[in-house]
């Protein structure tokens, strides 16, 4: 009886170890200057064979760490200055299902890198490419395009403002 | 030179009180420990000398008088333990109370914000033009109380400069305050004392205590914007800084660079370390940090950069001129 209990316990522990999986954190990405020279291809016409569409899925699809980093960078680089916390204001809202320039990861990436008319600045060459992809993952999570189990349960902007008051 | 980051080499009144309390605890606990071990060995020696008694003998040897003596001894030891613990409690509470009092209206206010993994210090002043920001190296005047207003931008950190005071946490969305006073000039190292992520061990700061005149001179220099580059080479360096990713996060007051998420570099060349006290502030270390910060501090927010050699040299020249 006791042996069977021990076996069940060991098996249960073995099954539990399956959940011990940690997603990969890539700290050392390519420098921003590399992305500066990436060609912008507006027309589909190309000399020779067309290049394969190598990026269909963002590299941080469903990566919880990247999405939370993206959330941090979204505020650091002042995306929130125009898009606010996704609701929009000066810039278009990011939480709805209206996408002027496409909702696929590579569309959003291109929008951030190239900039868009009427106010969206071009960030290519100013932000490392990895960070742009992290922001892409976060922006997609705003309109529930990312898997919900990877999205942070709590938004940083819900924090009470802790700006200390200057003392005399 | 004071002992490096030691709570027993006090440089101010708080650290002195904490050190005194520490010595009291050490003396009392060492005495109790010695007594306990003494009795233990006495008991062992006595037991070994006795021949093994039979059960019937053991019954007979426990006379009513020795039984009463034992009861009295155990009761005395228990009472002594309670009394000693109570004395230590009173000493501890008394020290804690003394640490929180200062009552000097002339205190200097510094707002200290913890970030993963560096310290942002904002010197307060009633006049906004006299406020300024620096990072990881805090200058304070000797003999004047300094009140730190502590908060954090991400996770809980803890401020601990052992030569000056005990530790206190930096908590997001919450403000803690602590006051310290340095009575001896010197450089005191502090470290984050609450695990805060990958580079917790590499989150150090320095407190430089100097005479009030020296401090005033330093403060006046820090309030100023960065010196304008005086050679074409440094001007190019400034251009590199403001046009590359640097300006997205760092501020150099007096230039177009106004990022608010990374250390203020307006007077970078006056600091003795970079990367939160990890590397000495030399040209070579700075170059390594700019090119591949992830090799030094994996996980830090500083991304890698690739610069043509001329741009890098100009940038280093410019950063080295930020006195």
* CA atoms of A76 and B260, how far apart (whole Å): 8
B191 occurs within a structural domain: yes
Which positions in chain A touch B172 (Cβ < 8 Å)?
159, 162
Per-residue confidence (pLDDT) for residue A164, from 0 to 100: 47
Q: How confident is the model at residue B24 (pLDDT cuts 50, 70, 90)?
A: very high
Distance from the A64 Cα atom to the nearest Cα atom in chain B, whole angstroms: 16
Same domain, B117 and B198: yes
User: What residue in B sits closest to A126 (Cα-Cα)?
Assistant: B245
B26 occurs within a structural domain: yes
CB contact under 8 A, A162 and B172: yes
Q: Which residue range forms the structural domain that includes residue B70? A: 13-49+64-99
Residue B200's contacts (CB-CB under 8 Å, 6 or more residues apart) are B117, B192, B194
Q: Which of residues 105-164 of B touch A (CB under 8 A)?
A: 109, 111, 124-126, 131, 147, 149, 151
* CA atoms of B257 and B246, how far apart (whole Å): 8
Q: Catalogue all structural domains in chain A, each as residue range(s) with its CATH number.
A: 64-145 (1.10.760.10)
Nearest CA among B306, B233, B29, B268 for reference residue B137:
B268
B1 occurs within a structural domain: no
Phi and psi at residue B111, to the nearest 5°: -95, 125
CB contact under 8 A, A167 and B292: no
pLDDT at B2 over 60: no
Q: How confident is the model at residue B121 (pLDDT cuts 50, 70, 90)?
A: very high
Count structural domains, chain B.
Answer: 3
Q: How confident is the model at residue A36 (pLDDT cuts 50, 70, 90)?
A: very low
Option in B126, B245, B299 nearest A168 (CB) = B126
CB contact under 8 A, A27 and B149: no
Q: Which neighbouring-strand residues pair with B99? A: none
Same domain, B85 and B133: no
Mean pLDDT taken over chain B: 89
pLDDT at A22 over 80: no
Q: B254 vs A166, which has greater pLDDT?
A: B254
Same domain, B144 and B200: yes
pTM of the shown model: 0.81
User: What residue in A sits closest to B128 (Cα-Cα)?
Assistant: A166
Q: Picking from A7-11, A55-59, B150-154, which range would have the lowest pLDDT averaged per residue? A: A55-59
Beta strand residue intervals within B19-136, DSSP E: 108-115, 118-123, 132-135
Nearest CA among B130, B131, B129 for reference residue B120:
B131
Q: How confident is the model at residue A165 (pLDDT cuts 50, 70, 90)?
A: very low
Q: A21 vs A66, which has greater pLDDT?
A: A66
Helix (H/G/I), strand (E/B), else coil: B261: coil
Option in A33, A162, A167 nearest B305 (CB) = A33
Per-residue confidence (pLDDT) for residue A57, from 0 to 100: 64
pLDDT at A33 over 60: no
Q: A98 vs A31, which has greater pLDDT?
A: A98
Same domain, B179 and B258: no
CA angle A59, A65, A68 (to 5 degrees): 105
For residue B210, give the CATH number of its domain: 2.60.40.420
Q: Which neighbouring-strand residues pair with B159? A: B168, B192
Which of B179, B248, B250, B251 is the best residue to mutate to test the A interface, defined by the most A CB atoms within 10 Å of its own CB?
B248
Beta-carbon neighbour count of residue B72 at 10 Å? Answer: 10
Same domain, B117 and B194: yes
Which of A25, A26, A33 is the best residue to mutate to test the B interface, defined by the most B CB atoms within 10 Å of its own CB?
A33
Same domain, B215 and B238: no
Which strand ranges, in their side-by-side order, compose the sheet holding B137-141? B137-141, B204-210, B186-192, B157-160, B168-170
Same domain, B149 and B209: yes
Do the Cβ atoms of B33 and B27 come closer than 8 Å? no
Same domain, B79 and B147: no
B245 occurs within a structural domain: yes
pLDDT at A1 over 80: no
Asked if A65 reaches chain B (Cβ–Cβ under 8 Å), the answer is no
State pLDDT tens for residues B30-88: 999 999 999 999 888 876 655 555 555 555 555 667 788 889 989 999 999 999 999 99
Residue in the block written with tokens 């501020």: B251
CB contact under 8 A, A31 and B303: yes
Same domain, B179 and B128: yes
Torsion (CA) A24, A28, A31, A35 in degrees, nearest 10 = -10
Do the Cβ atoms of B273 and B279 come closer than 8 Å? yes
Option in B111, B125, B245 nearest A127 (CB) = B245
Q: Domain boundary residue among B222, B247, B269?
A: B222
Q: Picking from A27-41, B83-97, B135-149, which range would have the lowest pLDDT averaged per residue? A: A27-41
Per-residue confidence (pLDDT) for residue A166, from 0 to 100: 45
Q: Domain boundary residue among B222, B254, B286?
A: B222
CB contact under 8 A, B244 and A131: no
Token reading at A57 = 């899925």
Q: What letter does residue B188 receive in the DSSP assignment? A: E
Per-residue confidence (pLDDT) for residue A152, from 0 to 100: 77
Same domain, B236 and B279: yes
Dump the DSSP string for chain A.
-HHHHHHHHHHHHHHHHTT------------HHHHHTPPP--SS--SSSPPP---SS-TTTT-HHHHHHHHHHHHHTTTHHHHTTTT-SSSPPSSSS--TT-SSHHHHHHHHHH-BTTTB---BTTB-HHHHHHHHHHHHHHTT-S-GGGS-SS-GGGSPP--PPPP-
Per-residue confidence (pLDDT) for residue A157, from 0 to 100: 59
Do the Cβ atoms of A129 and A55 come closer than 8 Å? no
CB contact under 8 A, A167 and B124: yes
Q: Picking from A104-108, B29-33, B248-252, which range would have the lowest pLDDT averaged per residue? A: A104-108
Q: Picking from A30-39, A118-127, B276-285, B301-310, which range would have the lowest pLDDT averaged per residue? A: A30-39
Same domain, B215 and B243: no
pLDDT at B168 over 70: yes
pLDDT at B230 over 50: yes
Which positions in chain B touch A164 (Cβ < 8 Å)?
111, 149, 151, 175
Same domain, B213 and B290: no
Option in A28, A30, A166 nearest B124 (CB) = A166
């Amino acid at each position: 009886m006791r042996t069977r209990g021990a076996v069940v316990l060991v098996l249960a522990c073995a099954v539990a170890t399956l959940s011990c999986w940690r997603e990969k954190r890539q700290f050392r990405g390519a420098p921003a200057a590399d992305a500066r020279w990436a060609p912008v291809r507006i027309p589909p016409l190309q000399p020779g064979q067309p290049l394969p569409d190598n990026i269909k899925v963002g590299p941080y699809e469903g990566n919880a760490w990247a999405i939370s980093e993206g959330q941090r960078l979204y505020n650091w680089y002042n995306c929130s200055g125009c898009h606010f916390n996704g609701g929009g204001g000066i810039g278009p809202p990011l939480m709805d299902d209206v996408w002027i320039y496409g909702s696929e990861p590579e569309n959003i990436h291109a929008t951030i890198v190239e900039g868009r008319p009427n106010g969206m600045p071009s960030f290519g060459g100013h932000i490392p490419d990895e960070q742009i992809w992290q922001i892409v993952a976060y922006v997609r999570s705003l309109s529930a395009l990312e898997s919900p189990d990877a999205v942070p349960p709590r938004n940083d902007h819900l924090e009470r403002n802790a700006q200390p008051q200057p003392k005399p | 030179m004071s002992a490096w980051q030691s709570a027993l080499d006090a440089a101010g009144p708080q650290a002195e009180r904490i050190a005194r309390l520490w010595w009291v605890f050490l003396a009392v606990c060492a005495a109790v420990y010695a007594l306990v071990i003494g009795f233990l060995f006495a008991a062992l020696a006595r037991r070994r000398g006795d021949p093994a008694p039979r059960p019937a003998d053991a019954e007979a040897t426990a006379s009513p008088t020795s039984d009463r003596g034992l009861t009295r001894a155990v009761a005395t030891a228990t009472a002594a333990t309670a009394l000693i613990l109570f004395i230590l409690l009173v000493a501890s509470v008394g020290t804690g109370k003394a640490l929180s009092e200062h009552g000097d209206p002339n205190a200097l206010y510094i707002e200290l914000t913890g970030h993963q993994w560096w310290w942002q210090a904002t010197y307060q002043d009633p006049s906004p033009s006299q406020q300024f920001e620096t990072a990881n190296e805090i200058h304070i005047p000797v003999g004047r109380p300094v009140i730190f207003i502590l908060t954090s931008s991400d996770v809980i950190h803890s401020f601990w400069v052992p030569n000056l005071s005990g530790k206190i946490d930096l908590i997001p969305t919450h403000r803690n305050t602590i006051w310290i006073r340095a009575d001896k000039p010197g450089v005191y190292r502090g470290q984050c004392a609450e695990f805060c992520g990958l580079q917790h061990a590499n989150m150090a700061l320095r407190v430089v205590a100097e005479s009030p005149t020296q401090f005033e001179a330093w403060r006046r220099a820090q309030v100023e914007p960065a010196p304008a580059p005086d050679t074409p080479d440094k001007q190019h360096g400034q251009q590199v800084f403001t046009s590359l990713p640097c300006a997205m996060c760092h501020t150099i007051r007096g230039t177009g660079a106004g990022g608010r998420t990374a250390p203020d570099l307006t007077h970078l060349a006056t600091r003795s370390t970079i990367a939160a006290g990890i590397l000495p502030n030399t040209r070579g270390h700075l170059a390594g940090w700019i090119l591949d910060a992830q090799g030094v501090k994996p996980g830090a927010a500083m991304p890698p950069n690739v610069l043509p050699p001329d741009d890098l040299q100009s940038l280093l020249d410019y950063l080295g001129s930020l006195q």
